Amino acid sequence: MMYTQEQNREVEKVMKAFADYIRDTQHFDLLWSDKVGYVFLDGISEEHDDFCMAPIILRDGETLCEEIIYHIACDVMEEKGKSHDLRLCGPVEREEIQKRLLPYLRQLPEYEHLVEGLFEK
């Protein structure tokens, strides 16, 4: 068995919380493979014909949540005309990122700790 029931529930809970964002983003996709399980395909090219990052085989909800909140944080930085380097994130950007993540983290309080980790990388 690829996943325990608990692992499957975790990943699906995160997928459900971020469903609209996953559907609407142009930067990554999430797929199911009968061979390896859930696959996070990151770095979709602007032409939508290649990936600039290796796929991630997801084994838990935390990994998926961490990847998605990173993308949301990068969206905020991009909208503010800033680099994707979150270490350079100022108080205005940090506040906007936290505000943007709040609706998701209300559904996923067990992953709130990941937000602080964003700014420590």
Region for 31 from its dihedrals, namely left if φ exceeds 0, alpha if ψ lies in -120 to 50, beta otherwise: beta
In this predicted model, what pLDDT tens digit does every residue of 40-91 receive, in sequence order? Answer: 988 876 776 767 788 999 999 999 999 999 999 999 998 888 877 888 888 9
DSSP track, 32-88: EETTTEEEEEE-B-TTSS-BSS--EE--SHHHHHHHHHHHHHHHHHHHTT--S-GGG
C-alpha span between 6 and 109 (Å, rounded) = 17
Residue 100's pLDDT band, with cuts at 50, 70 and 90, is very high
pTM of the complete model: 0.89
- Position 97 confidence tier, pLDDT thresholds 50, 70, 90: very high
Read off the amino acid at residue 99.
K
